[in-house]
Amino acid sequence: MRHTLYATALLLSVAQLTYGQDTPSAYADATYQYSDNVLNGTARFRGIGGNHAALGGDASNLFGNPAGLGFYNRSEFSISPSFNGANNRSSFLGSQTTGSQGNVSIGQLSVIFAGRDNGPDNRRFRRSSFGISYSQALNFQDYYNAIGQNNNRNSSILQTYVNSANSAGYTGAALNDLYDFNTNQADNAAAAAYQLYLIDPTATGANTSGPPYSRADANTAKLQQATISRSGASSQWTLAYAGNFDDKLYIGGSLGITRLRFNSTFMFTETPINGSSFNNYSQTNTLTATGTGINATLGIIYKIAPEVQIGATVVSPTFSSVRELFQQSLAASPRDPNIINPSNGPTPPSSVAVVTSNDDFPYSMQTPFRATGGATVFLGKAGFLTATAEYVGYGGMRARTTAFNDVQLNNQFRNDVRQEVQATYKSVVNLRAGAEFRAGIARIRAGVGYLPSAYVFDLDRVPRADRSKLLVSAGLGVRNERFFADLSGSYLTYSSGFTPYSLPSDANTPTVLTNNRGTNVTLSVGTFF
């Protein structure tokens, strides 16, 4: 199995990021990360908290409730540039640091063609509308920066390499065999650490050098720094069609083609304080994931009365093919002259790449089934109030692969991921509410969302924290017969944690706890034609 960086931490939960192997939890976490839809759409619908279920007449209906296209009686073009920012505060070994990052992207680009009104002579089917859009379902922009002094002499990332070498019973010669001196590549992190002189055998001899291994600067405190940077997006092209029956019943469907781009880099650096062997050493893990998928949505909106309407959608899982490319490297800056120019061994390289056969890994992924229901109450010409409840069946997430030559291994992969998903995740109901108030051509909006944690339990190594997410949003807009412009801002907050490396004793495994804070500003402009 290959070395991986999976970011349960990156998807804002808990992961062992430094040297973990392919595990069912890694793929369960990845599927969850690529499914965690918080807020998308136009600035209008973002401003009211993402309430798509029981509202129509907005480009967000293309990838929200497609039945809402049935409200259009004229065609529309719109575009929504969007800024996403992260400003996270991390607590690590008694110290607090912040990490910030942001980017600008296109949140949505849509064109909607309204059909001809059939008029009062054919009231059962008044009109239909068709639309096509590009939208970002998820923006992965995020950054973590955690720095602290670890005074626990038993806690070091080097101990993970020591434990790996000891458990495998590697001799020094065996670790050399796992390293290619021509390409400067090692088959695992223990072999890379051995070539960098970060770990050394205790038993010595021409043919018997080997375990137990020791680590450099073992009796010093360490200044430790963990950084995580990620980027990319999950986007979707959507084709949608809706019909209007008697201006009372609206039915629509859509087909979505998704594109996944995800990039993450995790770097962990240790600096021995008053150490004699090394100035510092580090491990860097990089993960790139790309994929394509397909999903379908069916929606309905019904006017109970002129001032009250209800709506519902069912969204199929997205079935995607994904390819992940993983890279890992270890680097060291020696201080000891005997390491820089050893008398009884080769001069160490400055860094070593860890390369395995499964660093390029394809698999297929199934995201959760979703269903929403909501209601809207209109306040005459003064605006409206709306609310939505969304069921997300995280327990139905799946991952499969045909990467292994052995059918039994492929089946075991699928079954293990399913068991891990069911043991780790549960179905949730997300709640949202919003309002819009009107005065002439002006609009003012506000929204709130509560997204409960999908985790069955908190992992033991992270103190209990509320992983539920709170979303608040607001917006302004103007609209006339030919043109509209809307501006929205949203703020998302929740807690997360991760372990930069894992040791058998919880007391020796440090934890980063983070207060995650994400912001979004979206501008939507459009014209009717």
pLDDT tens digits along 180-211: 999 999 999 999 999 999 999 987 665 568 88
pLDDT tens digits along 47-56: 999 998 999 9
Q: Residue 57 and residue 127: Cα distance in Å, rounded?
A: 13
Q: Residue 526 and residue 31: Cα distance in Å, rounded?
A: 34
Q: Residue 410 and residue 31: Cα distance in Å, rounded?
A: 17
Q: Residue 256 and residue 67: Cα distance in Å, rounded?
A: 15
Residue 123: is its pLDDT beyond 70?
Answer: no
Do 498 and 230 form a contact (C-beta atoms < 8 A)? no
What is the phi/psi pair of residue 45, to 5°? -75, -30
Q: Give the range among 21-35, 417-431, 472-486 with minimum mean pLDDT.
A: 21-35
Quick one: CA dihedral 5, 10, 15, 18, positive or negative?
A: positive
Q: Return the CATH fold of 24-149+225-323+360-528.
A: Porin (2.40.160)
Q: Provide the residue ranges of all domains of the chain, joining segments of one domain with +.
A: 24-149+225-323+360-528
CA 10 to chain centre: 6
Burial class (CB in 10 A: 0-12, 13-18, 19+), 448: middle
The whole-number average pLDDT for the span 449-459 is 82
- Between 179 and 208, where is the model more confident? 179
Burial class (CB in 10 A: 0-12, 13-18, 19+), 124: exposed
- Between 497 and 42, where is the model more confident? 42
pLDDT tens digits along 265-317: 999 999 999 999 999 999 999 999 999 999 999 999 999 999 999 999 999 99
The whole-number average pLDDT for the span 504-514 is 93
Residue 1: is its pLDDT beyond 60?
Answer: no
Residue 5: is its pLDDT beyond 70?
Answer: no
- The beta strand positions in 45-94, using DSSP E, are 76-92
The whole-number average pLDDT for the span 482-508 is 94
pLDDT tens digits along 332-381: 999 999 999 887 778 899 999 999 988 999 999 999 999 999 999 999 99
Q: Give the range among 11-15, 143-147, 170-174, 265-269 with minimum mean pLDDT.
A: 11-15
Q: Residue 48 and residue 41: Cα distance in Å, rounded?
A: 11
For residue 458, the model assigns a pLDDT of 54
- Nearest 10 degrees: CA dihedral of 443, 79, 60, 250? 90
**Residue burial 481-494, b: 16+ Cβ < 10 Å; e: rest:** eeebebbbbbebeb
Quick one: CA dihedral 339, 345, 350, 351, positive or negative?
A: negative
Q: Residue 446 and residue 377: Cα distance in Å, rounded?
A: 15
pTM of the predicted structure, to 2 decimals: 0.87
